[in-house]
Amino acid sequence: MSKIIRLGKYQVSSLIGKGSMGVVYKAYDPDMQRVVAIKTLRMELLEDNNKQILLSRFRSEAIAYGRCLHPNIVTCYSCDQDGEIIFIVLEYVEGNSLKEYLSQVKTISLSETVSIIKQILDALACAHDQGVIHRDIKPANVLMMKNGRVKVTDFGVARIDTGNATQTGCPIGSPNYMSPEQFSGDPIDCRADIFSTGAVLYELLTGEKPFSGNDLRETLHNVLLSNPKAPSFLNSQVSKELDKVVFKALQKDKNKLRRHAP
């Protein structure tokens, strides 16, 4: 637990987790009498020359959350500041990430897989309607509640539409789930999130990531040039029709509407 005891009015009780950029705490809102999650930037990152870029990105994350009001997206309550510390106040979700869930169970049924993916797509449809591209869909950014509801979280690298639908992207995201256009720095749109969701679907169906490698270079090569085995080859419960759905999502050329690979 960090030395932080209180942020503004919020009483911080424990550390939830750390990422490459942010730290998330469990806290209590005495005014609303509810438990919340508080995300702050890792302070050591603000000591270099990228401080203003990181602060701008952090504020953009709050704006992205604020635009996306949906039952399958973690709710953002506010973006506040206590001294030099800027923090985002979020809905506290009781449950594990999909990544943790996958490490605990041996297999996931097709019906549960369909439910999870449908909820992720419902969340993304809302985000895309609001001009928000998540850019980092992966099991670690999907929260699983005990009642079966899924919550998409972490809009830390989200891109908010500025009116230019073909805004050039940059290689931001998680390599095993990134679309080819994210790796190459080509223009990014909602189809990048569809590709990443397709990668998650593949993993749920097979227990394996569709694109992996011993290092970043090998992973990049596989994302750009290699096609994974059909899910039905690895899981006999998967139909050929579902294979087509997966390959449509994982089509490397977004301009072909990510159709089924030949």
Whole-number pLDDT of residue 259? 47
Are 44 and 31 in contact by the 8 Å Cβ rule? The answer is no
| Count of residues making up the chain | 262
How confident is the model at residue 171, as a pLDDT?
56
Q: Which CATH code fits 95-256? A: 1.10.510.10
Backbone angles phi, psi at 6, to 5 degrees: -145, 140
Gap between the Cα atoms of 234 and 173, Å rounded: 27
Whole-number Å distance between alpha carbons of 79 and 60: 10
How many CA atoms are closer than 13 Å to the CA of 37, on its beta-carbon side?
Answer: 19
What radius of gyration, in Å, describes the C-alpha atoms of the chain?
A: 19
Q: What are the start and end residues of each CATH 1.10.510.10 domain in the chain?
A: 95-256
Q: What is the C-alpha to C-alpha distance for residues 13 and 27, in angstroms, rounded to an integer?
A: 5
Q: What is the pTM of this model?
A: 0.88
Cite the residue boundaries of each domain of the chain with CATH code 3.30.200.20. 6-91
| Dist CA 193 CA 125 (whole Å) | 10
- pLDDT tens digits in sequence order for the chain, 262 residues long: 545 688 999 999 999 988 777 899 999 999 999 999 999 987 766 666 677 777 888 888 888 998 999 999 999 999 998 888 889 999 999 999 999 999 998 789 999 999 999 999 999 999 999 999 999 999 999 999 989 999 999 988 888 765 443 444 455 668 899 999 998 888 889 999 999 999 999 999 999 999 988 888 898 888 888 899 999 999 999 999 999 999 999 999 887 755 444 3
Position 221 scores a pLDDT of: 87
Q: Does the annotation count 136 as an active-site position?
A: yes
Task: Give the CATH fold of the 6-91 domain.
Answer: Phosphorylase Kinase; domain 1 (3.30.200)
pLDDT at 29: 96
Q: Confirm if 98 and 84 have CB atoms less than 8 A apart.
A: no
Which one from 80, 129, 136, 186 is the annotated catalytic residue?
Answer: 136
Tokens, residue 109: 């049924």
pLDDT at 123: 97
The predicted structure's pLDDT at residue 163: 44
